[in-house]
Structure 1
């Protein structure tokens, strides 16, 4: 367990962590396309749906972006980089490592980094930032998170835990506003007692997001670590009472509705990709894209209302 994680969460005795619970007879989360059983190639349908959604919205006249921009946010070892690598692995149909990941007590990500997806997802850009930490002069600052969300911080900016990014009036800066935020947290940590310091930091971040109005989802990574049934068979993920418990706890910690929390298993030790493992990952990405495109349409509607108001004033 990383040093930061020990500081972030109070470790509870193993016998208290996720007692063996029976699998639910009915899925605790239902998707129409999965009700009659999982089909390994269903992930291809999800890829098409996500691609069609982004193209449809981004092709609208006057839309404010040519990509859907999603930012991943989490503490050290929460699985941000592994999530990015997993999306590339799905697209390439082989295990990829585009983003640095591994065991570390400090954030691998030091710079504001963008990852443009490919093929049917080529209109989606994932943004990775320095991890959240609780120690003094450690981790990304809340004001820098806000700066990334509104597009004030440029690609490749190196974060400084001791000093906020200075706003710039550079007219040449290509502002890339974030349209949806993905929080990442690992399943084992969710089941531990979160100390007040982390909840306070999350409240600060959430207050910034509410002001900015971008929506967010929560990815609960490493779900196989808390559920042997899901580890053995990923298709049991929405049947598992253990997974349901973790999802509900994550919703409470991050203060989001349960249907905005997604349990996933990233590609970490696998040698090959698996169609069924792709499905939870793409269900999460689809929701992030839904929220991101909703935000873009909302901005477009606001733009049209302002234009109509100005036009009425000029003719009155």
Structure 2
């Protein structure tokens, strides 16, 4: 929808629309955020699976290269450690990622390293999280979208709960870059969420906006709040899935 709007407009119209889209704010946030992160932080730190067959909650991050999957892992770790960490390697020089690539045309076989034909419950994925970048989401290719839909269908067939995380909100929205508290007041980001929800079929209340820690050397309460809200919902969904088993 956003691409069509710009395609049919003149250059001055495009510039005017950009100003409106990237700067317009709702008077009130369309999603309430906690005033204090401590409850969500305590919940995440103290979580233990209620199903005794699982020692860990396994969350699979799925998304295009450069979406911010490794950065999100680092950001979660930074929030929990209350300091900036770099446990999941990212390659800032070449813009590539150290996370694994998914190739549906070449599914894993018994000859692949690490292939497990009979995983235990503790070794299976309990939550699928689709990760996409806000700054390039409007021009995400159909190939990538279809690949993500295929993965979602497979997860749905297995009963695995699913959420989505939209990263790089500060790069997509000027108001969010100025103040991360504007993330859920941004009309542009709300439109991105609505369109992404319609495209992939993920409910809006299962889509979370986050800003990863990339250039910062200290954590920030407002950035933490976004990450913790997404993390808590992942844990809740995953624990419900384990408990139902």
Q: Smaller-chain TM-score range?
A: 0.7 to 0.9
What does residue 75 of structure 2 align with? 86
Does the Cα contact within 8 Å between 2:45 and 2:80 map onto a contact in 1? Answer: no
Aligned partners of 1:87 and 1:181: how far apart in 2?
16
| Number of corresponding residues | 229
What does residue 258 of structure 1 align with? 204
Aligned partners of 2:128 and 2:119: how far apart in 1?
25
Secondary structure, counterpart of 2:244 in structure 1:
helix
Does the Cα contact within 8 Å between 1:238 and 1:244 map onto a contact in 2? Answer: yes
Aligned partners of 2:244 and 2:120: how far apart in 1?
24
Secondary structure, counterpart of 1:185 in structure 2:
strand
Equivalent position to 2:217, from 271, 284, 289: 271
What does residue 38 of structure 2 align with? 44
**Are 2:155 and 1:166 aligned?**
no
**Alpha-carbon deviations, 1:79-126, whole Å to 9, x = none?**
0000011111112222111111134465422xxxxxxxxxxxxxxxxx
Q: Let me know the Cα RMSD of the aligned residues.
A: 2.7
Does the Cα contact within 8 Å between 1:24 and 1:239 map onto a contact in 2? Answer: yes
Within a 5 Å distance, the mapping from 1:11-50 to structure 2 comes to 15=15, 19-31=21-33, 34=34, 38=35, 42-50=36-44
- TM-score normalised per structure 2: 0.82
**Are 2:155 and 1:209 aligned?**
yes
CA apart distance, 1:173: 8.0
Return 5+ residue gaps in structure 1 as ranges.
Answer: 1-8, 110-129, 132-139, 143-161, 300-316
Q: Greater Rg, structure 1 or structure 2?
A: 1
What does residue 113 of structure 1 align with? none
Aligned partners of 2:78 and 2:243: how far apart in 1?
30
Secondary structure, counterpart of 2:21 in structure 1:
coil
- TM-score normalised per structure 1: 0.65
Equivalent position to 1:219, from 159, 162, 165: 165
C-alpha change, 1:288 and 1:230, in structure 2 (3 Å) is same
CA apart distance, 1:30: 2.3
CA apart distance, 1:21: 4.5
Q: Which is bigger in relative contact order (C-alpha 8 A, separation at least 6)?
A: 2
Aligned partners of 2:192 and 2:174: how far apart in 1?
14
C-alpha change, 1:106 and 1:85, in structure 2 (3 Å) is closer
Aligned partners of 2:130 and 2:106: how far apart in 1?
23
Within a 5 Å distance, the mapping from 1:87-102 to structure 2 comes to 87-102=76-91
CA apart distance, 1:175: 5.9
Secondary structure, counterpart of 1:238 in structure 2:
helix
Return 5+ residue gaps in structure 2 as ranges.
Answer: 8-13
Equivalent position to 1:286, from 227, 232, 243: 232
Aligned partners of 2:215 and 2:30: how far apart in 1?
28
Does the Cα contact within 8 Å between 1:264 and 1:281 map onto a contact in 2? Answer: yes
C-alpha change, 1:180 and 1:298, in structure 2 (3 Å) is same
